[in-house]
Amino acid sequence: MGRDLDNDGNVLEERAAAATGWNTKAIHIALAGGHGSSENDDFFDNFNSFQEDTLLNVIEEIQNIAGRPMEVMGHNQVAAKACPGFNAPKWYTAAKARAKARLVNTAAAVKPDPVPVFDAPSTAIPPRPAAEGFLRDMRDQFNAYLGE
């Protein structure tokens, strides 16, 4: 995913050129960064928390659209490559646990104010618009590809 070879704006219809034997039976996600990394590096040796959150959201959205869990693996699990510069299955398990812990910690830290001072919109952190737009476009393209 990520290269619009026929310039029609839909990257989901394209056949990826990522790993021999996997190009027609996998969804490929490109993650910018990690040049010179090792397949055994920690995710945070080459990437940041925004990238982790975004990648995790993209994977979860793909699984939601597909209606089922999907196996998460890196190029280095199917080819003699270092990319993506970390062990994707191990990262995915740990990233989900970190995200769940953040939700639990955030929920525990939020204490409702018993006396509202004023009526105002929620002060919760808004979702990142760029990620929301990307996920919405991806979902629309995936559904169009499936004929829904």
Domain boundaries, the chain: 1-102+125-148
Whole-structure pTM over 0.85, yes or no? no
Task: Please give the pLDDT value at position 134.
Answer: 64
Phi, psi of 5 (to 5 degrees): -65, -30
Instruction: For residue range 47-98, list pLDDT tens digits in order.
Output: 998 899 999 999 999 888 888 898 999 888 888 888 888 999 999 999 999 9
C-alpha span between 118 and 104 (Å, rounded): 27
